[in-house]
Amino acid sequence: MVSAVLMSFLAADISALYEKTVGEAESIIGGILDFELEKNGCADAQEWINGSITANAGQSSEWYAIILSKSGDYDLSGYRDALKKYIAENKINSATSRMKNALALLAAGEPPETLGDTAESSVGEQGIMSMIYGLHLLNNGCECSRYTAGTLAAELLSMQFADGGWAVMGENGDIDVTAMAVQALAPHNDDPAAAKAIDSALAFLSERQLDNGGYKSFGTENPESAAQVLIAMAQLGIAADDERFVKNGNTIIDGITRFRQSDGSFSHTLDGDTNETATTQVWLAMTAYTAARSDGEKLYIFERREPAERSEPEVSVTAAPEPVPETSAVSPAPAVADTAREVSESGSGYKPVAYIVIGAAALTGCVILFVLKKRRASNFIAVLIVAGAAAAFVFFTEFRSTEEYYSGTDDSSSGTAGTVTLSIRCDTIVGRYDSPYVPADGIILDTTEFGISEGETVYDILTRAARKYNIQLQAGANGYISGIGYLYEFDCGDLSGWIYHVNGDTPFMMCSEYKLSDGDRVEWLYTCDLGNDL
C-alpha cells in the first residue's frame, strides 16, 4: 500500500516536471515566432514563408525552413523552388553550406535521391563539421560513393577524444562540436560502439554544465552552446529534467532562458541585445525538444510529406517574459557596436558648442517660466539642476569622430612589459569570396610589433592596431570580434568568422581575457570552418 502511494507521488512528480519543461519550451517557441512575425510584418507563418523566407532562400532562411517543417503543415514548395534556383545560379564554396541547403531542401519535401551530387561533393570534404552534416544527409537516405551512413558514423567515432568530446582542432572536446556529433550519431545509438561513444559524450557534456544550467564556450556563457546540447538530448529522447543535466536545481532550459529578451528573442551574452544566431538556435533547440517529447520525432530526420490543406495553426500569443535577474559573474555586454564609435563628425571641439546650447536652453526655460508666471524658486532651481547635469555629462564624456579615432598614432602603451607582434590575415578566402575588402595576398595587417603594458590583452592590442592602421573593427565590449576590415562572421558560411592564435595555438577564452606576455605572437585569422582550414 505504501509503495503504491509512493509510486503515485513519483509518477505525479515526473509528470509535473515533464509538463514544466515542455511548457517552457512551447512558451519560448511562441515568443520567438511572435517576435519574427512582428519583425517581418506578417500575420502568420505561411505569409512569412511566402515572403522573406522564400526571398532569402540560400542566404539566410534555411534554419527557419527546417524549424517550420517540424512545426506544422506549412507549404514550403515555393521556398524549395527558390532554394533550388539559388543553388543552380550561385557557386557555393563551403561544403557545410551546401549540405545545410540540402537539409533545408529535405525539410521542404525534396526527395533524397536528387541530392546525391551535394553529398558526393561535400561529405567529409571540410573536416569534422562536413562529416557531421554529411551524416545527417546519409541518415536521410542521400547517397555518396565514398561513404555509407554506417562507415561515416564509424569514422566520426574514431575522431572522439579521450575526454569524450569532439572538436575541430586540438586534443580536448568542445561543447558545441560534441553536441553536434551526438546529434548526427543519435540514429546509430543501437550500435554498441556508437552507444558507448554517446554515453561518454553525454558524461562530458554533463560534467561541463554550469550550476545555472547553461554552458560556456570560449570562456563566455551563451545560449547557443546550451541549445546544441538540448538538441542532442532531444535526439536521444533525454528529457531536460534528466538528473545528469540538472545542476543546482536548474535544468538546461533554465540556463537558456536567462538570455531571453522582453520581446521573446534571445541575446548572445547576458544583458546583450537581440542576436539573430542565438534566437534561431534556441528556436531550433526548443522545436527539437517539443517534437521529441510529443511523438519521438528527430529534428534532422525528414519524412517527405505534402502540406495538408488546412488553415493556419493557431499561434498562442505569449506574454513577454519577466526580466531575468542577473545571476552570473560574467560581465554583461551590450550589442555588438563599431569600435570606432562614429558618433560625431565635429571632433573634440563640440564641447564649447554643447555648453553654449545647454546654457541657452536653460536661459530659455527660465524666460518661459517667468512669462508664464511660474516664478517659484523651485522651478528655476529645477531648470538649473537639469542644465548642470547636462553640462556634467558633456564634461565627463569624450565623443570622437572617425578621423580622430583612426588617428594613425599609437600612444596607448609605453612598452614597459615588453613587445608582441600582431598580424591579421584572410588567406582562406582569397579567390573564393568576391569582396573588395579581401586583399590579393590575404594580408590585412602584416606582422607588426607593438609595445605592451602589464595586463594588456589580445583585445587591447587589436583595437590599438585598428586605430593606428585605420582597420575597421566590429566588436562587443566583452571582446567578441564579429568583423575586421569589413569581413564578418558568416560571410563565407555558417562556420566562418575570425579566430585568434597566440604563438600558434588557439586559446579557449575570449580575446579580452587573454593577457599578453613579452614575445607573444598574435595572429587574427579568418576561417571558413571553425579553424579547421587554418
Whole-angstrom distance, CA of residue 486 vs CA of residue 209: 35
pLDDT-wise least confident of 74-78, 91-95, 104-108, 118-122: 91-95
Q: Residue 2 pLDDT more than 60?
A: no
pLDDT-wise least confident of 11-15, 140-144, 442-446: 11-15
Average pLDDT of the chain is 83
* Contact between residue 267 and residue 231 where contact means Cβ atoms under 8 Å apart: no
Q: What is the pLDDT of residue 410?
A: 60
Most confident of 200-209, 375-384, 431-440: 200-209
Q: What is the pLDDT of residue 397?
A: 62
Q: Which position has the higher pLDDT, 378 or 81?
A: 81
User: pLDDT-based confidence at 36, cuts 50/70/90?
Assistant: very high
Span 42-55, mean pLDDT? 96
User: pLDDT-based confidence at 385, cuts 50/70/90?
Assistant: confident
Whole-angstrom distance, CA of residue 175 vs CA of residue 120: 28
- CB atoms under 10 Å from CB of 291, counted, come to 17
- Measured on CA atoms in the order 69, 74, 75, 79, is the torsion positive or negative? negative
Q: Residue 238 pLDDT more than 70?
A: yes
Phi-psi label, residue 154: left if phi above 0, alpha if psi -120 to 50, beta otherwise: alpha
User: pLDDT-based confidence at 5, cuts 50/70/90?
Assistant: very low
C-alpha cell at 210: 554550469
Q: Indicate the pairing of strand 419-425 with strand 443-451.
A: antiparallel
Q: Residue 453 pLDDT more than 60?
A: yes
Q: What is the pLDDT of residue 32?
A: 96
Which pTM does this prediction carry? 0.66
Determine the distance from the C-alpha atom of residue 184 to the mean position of all C-alpha atoms in its chain, rounded to a whole number: 20
Q: What is the pLDDT of residue 315?
A: 38
Span 53-71, mean pLDDT? 93
Q: What is the pLDDT of residue 336?
A: 31
Q: Which position has the higher pLDDT, 429 or 396?
A: 429
Number of Cα atoms under 13 Å in the Cβ half of residue 20: 14
C-alpha cell at 172: 580536448
Q: Residue 323 pLDDT more than 80?
A: no
* Contact between residue 108 and residue 57 where contact means Cβ atoms under 8 Å apart: no
Q: What is the pLDDT of residue 219?
A: 75
User: pLDDT-based confidence at 520, cuts 50/70/90?
Assistant: very high
- Predicted confidence (pLDDT) per residue in 263-309, tens digit: 999 998 888 889 988 999 999 999 999 999 887 889 999 986 554 44
Q: Residue 22 pLDDT more than 90?
A: no
- Measured on CA atoms in the order 449, 451, 455, 461, is the torsion positive or negative? negative
Q: Which position has the higher pLDDT, 501 or 95?
A: 501
User: pLDDT-based confidence at 14, cuts 50/70/90?
Assistant: very low
Phi-psi label, residue 203: left if phi above 0, alpha if psi -120 to 50, beta otherwise: alpha
Determine the distance from the C-alpha atom of residue 180 to the mean position of all C-alpha atoms in its chain, rounded to a whole number: 15
- Predicted confidence (pLDDT) per residue in 335-379, tens digit: 333 333 333 333 445 677 777 888 888 888 888 877 887 778 887
pLDDT-wise least confident of 62-71, 179-188, 365-374, 417-426: 365-374
pLDDT-wise least confident of 29-43, 207-221, 287-301, 480-494: 480-494
Q: Residue 505 pLDDT more than 50?
A: yes
C-alpha cell at 294: 510529443
Please provide the DSSP assignment of 168-230 as one string: SSSSS--HHHHHHHHHHHGGGTTSHHHHHHHHHHHHHHHHT--TTS-EEETTEEEHHHHHHHH
Q: Residue 333 pLDDT more than 60?
A: no
Q: Residue 489 pLDDT more than 50?
A: yes
Q: What is the pLDDT of residue 72?
A: 85
Please provide the DSSP assignment of 350-396 as one string: HHHHHHHHHHHHHHHHHHHHHHTT---HHHHHHHHHHHHHHHHHHHH
Query: Residue 272 to residues 223, 257, 319, 368, 463: CA-CA distances in angstroms?
Result: 12, 13, 21, 42, 21
Whole-angstrom distance, CA of residue 221 vs CA of residue 255: 10
Percent above pLDDT 70 for the chain = 83
Q: Residue 107 pLDDT more than 60?
A: yes
- CB atoms under 10 Å from CB of 46, counted, come to 20
Query: Residue 511 to residues 159, 357, 458: CA-CA distances in angstroms?
Result: 28, 41, 5
Cell 532651481: give the residue. Answer: 381
* Contact between residue 282 and residue 32 where contact means Cβ atoms under 8 Å apart: yes
List all residues 6 or more positions away from 164 whose beta carbon is below 8 Å from its beta carbon. Answer: 173, 178, 200, 201, 202, 203, 204
b/e code 106-119 from CB counts within 10 Å (16+ = b): bbbbbebeebeebb
Beta strands, E only, 15-148: none
SS3 349: helix
State the DSSP H helix or E strand holding residue 465, giving kind and residue range, or none if neither.
helix 458-469
Whole-angstrom distance, CA of residue 439 vs CA of residue 310: 53
Q: Residue 415 pLDDT more than 80?
A: no
